[in-house]
Structure 1
Amino acid sequence: MANLIVTGGAGFIGANFVYHWRKAHPDDSITVLDALTYAGNPANLDGLDGVELVEGDICDTALVSRLLAERDVDTIVHFAAESHVDRSITGPDAFVTTNVVGTHSLLKAAKDAWLDKGTGRPHRFHHVSTDEVYGSLGPNDPAFSETTAYAPNSPYSASKAGSDHLVRAYHHTYGLDTRTSNCSNNYGPYQFPEKLIPLFTLNALSGKPLPIYGDGMNVRDWLHVEDHCRGIELVLEKGRPGEVYNIGGGQELPNLEVIEEICRGVDAAFASDPSLAERFPNAPAAQGRPTSELKTFVEDRKGHDRRYAIDETKARGELGYAPARDFEHGFATTLRWYLNNEAWWRPLLKRTK
């Protein structure tokens, strides 16, 4: 039996991981540590037994140390982060504080508990990072591997790169058992509606514009969050200490194609379920018009990376990881989730401003 702290476990990926781990490892103890900022939502953990939510900041090293000692924690899975690139451009300070200083706070507490005062019990510190630390690819460049040089281009990705380096340093300098995973763009249930897929889905239901940056041809590798959670589980169970593993979805798509799939999915949902027109009367699909009429091209984001792509050869070979969902089916299940959970997302819309 393991005793876990999941930082940021009331957020999008963290909450999905808690659900996954609770189902796969029902005897383990899980403590969620979350500051409950705008993107943290206690409702994400509703219905979960044996999971305790502690509201607190990862920068509070004393709090983290107390939780590690009192709960005999042997595993930290670290999701807590500021993660929205647009917000990092207008307010980078919070990204440096949470992503760099907060990660260092956790590392200090973990070193103190597991090495300085430790009994030799096996431990794990898993750091969840992003492919954005590698920078931007040209159209014919090979995909990011674990040996790709870091070249972050936004305050968000720079802060995540800094945290990655700290995690590496605590392994190589002090011997802390750390593992890092760098993932591609996630989507799925519980994603806060500021990111592309939930934002455009909910805008389509409300008849609001779908603002497309630049020419819409920025390419991302799309990863369903449940595949990501399986990948993290494999890293925890089979990964080597101090190693980095890239976790991708194998679905390299331009943003415009993703948006077109959202439009097609919404139109098909309204065509098959007449009750949606009553629930969402402002949607073009409710009036027999195509959702695609909402597409609006806007000025590109500053420093917008052109292409990301993940080479997951290492994770496949060492861990047996492979994504189970293609984008078409993964988005279809995601759309159904948002249509079935209006009570979850409706209160969050005011926080996206």
Structure 2
Amino acid sequence: MTETLRIIFMGTPQFAEVSLQALLDGPDEVVAVVTQPDRAKGRGKKMQQPPVKVLAKASDIPVLQPTADIRSEEFQNGIASYQPDLIVVAAYGRMLPKNLLDLPPLGCINVHGSLLPKYRGAAPIQQSIINNDSEVGVTILQMDEKMDTGDILCRSRILPDPGETSGSLFLKLAALGSSTLLRAICGLKEGTLIPTPQDNSIATYTPMLKKEDGLIDWRMDAVKLESLIRGLDPWPTGYCFFNGKRLRLFKPEVVYLDPVVEAGTVIQADETGLVIACGTNALKISEIQPEGKKRMKTTDWLRGANLAAGTSLQPEESA
């Protein structure tokens, strides 16, 4: 099959937008886009369109935003009316039912932000940073009815940079995913791809992150906390509390020393920076976001924060 394919794209956030742009720039035709409904965001609860919708509208591509069950006959008939040869999914946010998976002749393929079967699930990119993986990547897989369990069509790998955050890695893997997607589609058209079943015995899962996952337990090892804070940047962010208000923490650096104080105790808070004792070693925090304020250099915040050495930042329930 070498003719132009009719593709339906399903995705929602910026990660998916990059793959959609690659398809729009490629040789095939995107006949429709499916994305999540507009959501109220921010303090003003203003309705915002998903990035994928914004791009699709700018490109005059029909946009579907189902609010009801996508298993419905009505939705399936709507998708079928576009006569897709292939459905491409990237961070859409819903599982696809069998009737949709079986609809296009080439099936449905997914752009996933990990080297499957490692990190199936909702937060693979964050988890790769949290675990301080030396190698990361993307997988294009043939979708089935379960979460990220389908046959692998192709994968691409890169090495994360020192100090990488999930935010910076998202951008890199979005670009890598888009180029790998085009390679996979070319292989599907030429019949050169050999689907490889995943080894379920070595599969790992990553659940969706919650805001509460960012609360720092300073009793952990500083090296693990450093990668945790990077992995939670930009959301939900690592945080602690000072005077009852949330402090979001960024740009951590391990300080190798033997704390003689309890974990969570401020060792240093002056013009040279903020250092906090951990279960093993300590962390220097170079940027911070006080509750209700913008992200700033920690040294700027410390000038008016009245935070002294000896203060405990360990949650009371864990102390």
Provide TM-score, normalisation by structure 2: 0.43
- Between 1 and 2, higher relative CO (CA 8 Å, sep ≥ 6) is seen in 1
Provide TM-score, normalisation by structure 1: 0.39
Q: Kindly name which structure, 1 or 2, has the bigger radius of gyration based on alpha carbons.
A: 2
